[in-house]
Amino acid sequence: MPRVITNNGYDIGFEESGGGGAAPIVFLHGVGSDKSVWRPQLGFFGQSRRALAFDYPGYGDSDPAPEGTTRDDYASAIISGMHELGIDRAHVCGLSLGGVVAIAMAHADESRCASLILADSFAAHPDGQAIYDRGVAASSDLRAMAESRVDILLAQPADPVVRSDVVETMARIDPAAYRIGAEAVWLADQRERAHDIRLPTLVLCGAEDRITPPSLSRELTQLIPGARYEPVEGAGHIGNLEKPDEFNTLVNAFIRGVDSRA
């Protein structure tokens, strides 16, 4: 898989498809995943525009991330990676940790974002410290963690193929990278940053999400001026995999509307 060297010293993996004159779209994965989670979206959105999914430092095809890497480092790496790949501005779609990183990107340089799509995410999680503590304690065996958590992550009954993909992807993550990612997401408090966003924003959440429930997405929507909330019916925490057609339809309608007003 291709990689790009960022101006803050990270060598990160990415995958892309498509092209054309429409504004590109960039996808950002969650803490227990990597860029591969976005393949249903790369295939769909690549039909009409350039679509890219990045790994964070330490994840997937990226080089290991040094201890102390933060969500702001992730955001800087993605912005730099976009620049190195010739993308000055893109729609930014992040799920869970990806939504946290998307908010950090908007805070760092709002001009690089055509819009934000924040899926199954939050500005601050009320149970974040407890979730982080449990994740760190279990991170030495990520396959075992994945097997124990997958049926909470996904709406039930889950598609067996999706269930297997989620387990295998999480099992591949380096434990040190997972711990950095867990701190970046679960200990985040970006309420002030969210309030300062002045971008078209769509907030999505699986109607059956038990990890970051719809109430947190509705709170996030209220924080961001002009944001719109849409549920992904029948989905849990990973709606882009569980209900890809519904997810893609919602995102596509939103970004086409933004493009038409640009």
DSSP state of 225: T
Nearest to 206 by CA among 158, 255, 144: 158
Across 94-103, b (16+ Cβ under 10 Å) vs e yields: bbbbbbbbbb
Confirm if 38 and 29 have CB atoms less than 8 A apart.
yes
Dig out the tokens for 240 from the structure: 């882009």
Per-residue pLDDT at 212: 98
Instruction: Give the list of residues 6+ apart from residue 121 with CB closer than 8 angstroms, or none.
Output: 94, 95, 96, 97, 98, 99, 100, 102, 103, 203, 212, 216, 217, 220
Q: Side chain identity at 174, as an amino acid letter? A: D
C-alpha R_g of the chain: 16
Do you find a cis peptide bond into 57, omega within 30 degrees of 0?
Answer: no
**Domains held by the chain: number:** 1
Nearest to 62 by CA among 181, 165, 162: 181
CATH for 134: 3.40.50.1820
Confirm if 91 and 117 have CB atoms less than 8 A apart.
yes
- What domain range is 165 assigned to? 3-261
Tens digits of pLDDT across the chain (262 residues): 799 999 888 999 999 999 989 999 999 999 999 999 999 999 999 999 999 999 999 999 999 999 999 999 999 999 999 999 999 999 999 999 999 999 999 999 999 999 999 999 999 999 999 999 999 999 999 999 999 999 999 999 999 999 999 999 999 999 999 999 999 999 999 999 999 999 999 999 999 999 999 999 999 999 999 999 999 999 999 999 999 999 999 999 999 999 999 8
